[in-house]
Amino acid sequence: MNNDIIDFETYNELLKYASKADVLDIYKEFEHETGHFLSLLKSLNLENDSPEILSILHTIKGNAASLGLSAMAEYSEQSERAINESRMSNENDIYTKLLEFYSKFSDNYERLLKLW
């Protein structure tokens, strides 16, 4: 079962290596760390801080992908590519969209994981 927040195939893979409680802790750590990254991202601008923005996007992309948060990972990758190709002109667009993914995840993941 997949939904637009968590890929449960990935979640099931994680359960092969850790208990449900440990996996939930991993998602909680992702929530905390990504919240911190979003706070940093909000204060940066593309003109002066693109290396730091790229680093944040790369970290979010990797962490999200490893936890089955495909939409967030894919958007982070697209944003990375757009910055590298000088097609992204507004860092607020990145922040706003990532915040949407993050909020949807943060508001729902504990309930979804408990149901699974």
- The CATH number of residue 104's host domain is 1.20.120
Distance (Å, rounded) from C-alpha 6 to C-alpha 28?
A: 14
Domain that holds residue 87: 19-115
Of residues 88, 63, 87, the one with CA closest to residue 73: 63
What are the DSSP calls for 78-110, one per residue?
HHHHHHHTT----HHHHHHHHHHHHHHHHHHHH
pLDDT (tens, 9 = 90+) of the chain, 116 residues, equals: 446 899 999 999 999 999 999 999 999 999 999 999 999 999 998 788 889 999 999 999 999 999 999 999 999 999 999 999 888 767 778 999 999 999 999 999 998 888 87
- Residue 35 falls inside a structural domain: yes
Domains contained in the chain, number: 1
3-state helix, strand, coil in the chain (%, to 5): 80, 0, 20
Neighbours of 80 (CB within 10 A): 20
The reply to whether the predicted model has a pTM over 0.85 is: yes
- Residue 24 falls inside a structural domain: yes
- Residue 37 falls inside a structural domain: yes
